Structure 1
Amino acid sequence: MSSAKSGARSGAAEKNGSVSALGKSASSDLTSPWSRAFTANAEWPDKDEFLDVIYWARQILGIVIGIVWGILPLKGFVALLLFAVVNAGLIYLYFSTFQNIDEEEFGGAWELTKEGFMTSFAGFLVTWIIIYSGLHHQ
């Protein structure tokens, strides 16, 4: 019986050792994509995580630009063109300068620049129309 108990203990110790080893390696790999998003020249082992960061950053940016464009009474084609230039320009500066990533790993600069653009545009339009109408409609 004692040999069975010691065998069970050694098996449990091996399991615990492997679990702690897995937990240790997993915890070092589990840095949040958002913490890496705000860290210059961060490592992106999973390309999909970086694309998710680009996508969601662009959604937030679209809403913020919509609020600003609504407060400033911007309207018409100029506002739409400015949105496209500011949105694409800021995202391009983010991934090319701040993150300094190799664009070719993600399919080129164009693929990164257009990632989530249309949904960002939709969020911008809704926000811009609501804020502009609420503040400047008579």
Structure 2
Amino acid sequence: MANKQSAIDKSKPVTLGFFALMKLGMSKNAEWPDTEVFLDWIYWSRQIVGFFLGIIWGIIPLTGIIGLASFALASSGYVYLYCSYMNIDDEEHGGIWEIIKEGFMTNFASFLVTWIIIYSCLHFDDNLAVKL
């Protein structure tokens, strides 16, 4: 009876709170209870990284295709390096491409909003504004 209670029920999805997920993701050689939990970690950590990259890109100021391409490279590189450093078996989660593209578009959108707001606040010249 004790074995049945201690065994993880694979039919039910495992859900973790945000802080528990962050703690698990920062533990080297963490045991991921489910592929979805790992992909949730990738999604949320990517959102945080994208937000901070938007702030940095806005302060520098990077513009145009250089800013967009460098964000895509940094965001994808972050995920690849994280998986390499933490010894993640990418085949267990659908391959490295599936991991890298997890949450990329929502990450890109939040990066763009942050980048545009920071850049506009710091580098917009009032003399260029059209006065009606």
Shorter-chain TM band = 0.7 to 0.9
- Structure with greater helix percent: 1
Give the CA RMSD over aligned residues: 2.2
State the partner residue of 1:116.
103
Confirm or deny that 1:49 pairs with 2:47. Answer: no
Figure out how many residues of one structure are paired with residues of the other and give that number. Answer: 115
Any gaps of 5 or more consecutive residues in structure 1? 1-17
Deviation at 1:30, TM superposition (A): 9.2
Structure 1 residue runs of 4 or more that deviate by more than 3 Å after TM superposition: none
The residue type equivalent to 1:82 in the other structure is S
Structure 1 residue 95, shift from structure 2 partner:
1.5
Unaligned runs of 5+ residues in structure 2 are 8-13, 126-132
Give the whole-Å Cα distance in 2 for the aligned partners of 1:76 and 1:103. Answer: 33
Number of the residue aligned with 1:127: 114
For 1:47 and 1:86, locate their aligned partners in 2 and report how far apart those are by CA, in whole Å: 24
In percent, how many aligned pairs have the same letter?
55
Task: Please give the TM-score of this superposition, normalised by the length of structure 1.
Answer: 0.76
- Residue 47 of structure 1: CA displacement? 1.2
Higher gyration radius (CA): 1
Show the counterpart of 1:137: 124
Structure 1 residue 96, shift from structure 2 partner: 2.0
Matched with 2:26 is: 38
Of 81, 88, 92, the residue aligned with 1:105 is: 92
Shift in Å, 1:65? 0.3
Letter of the structure 1 residue corresponding to residue 110 of structure 2: G
Q: TM-score, normalised by structure 2?
A: 0.79
Residue of structure 1 equivalent to 2:55? 67
CA distance in 2, matches of 1:30, 1:83: 30
Paired residue secondary structure (1:73): coil
Deviations 1:14-53 (A, max 9, x none): xxxx7xx95xx59xx9983221111111111211111000
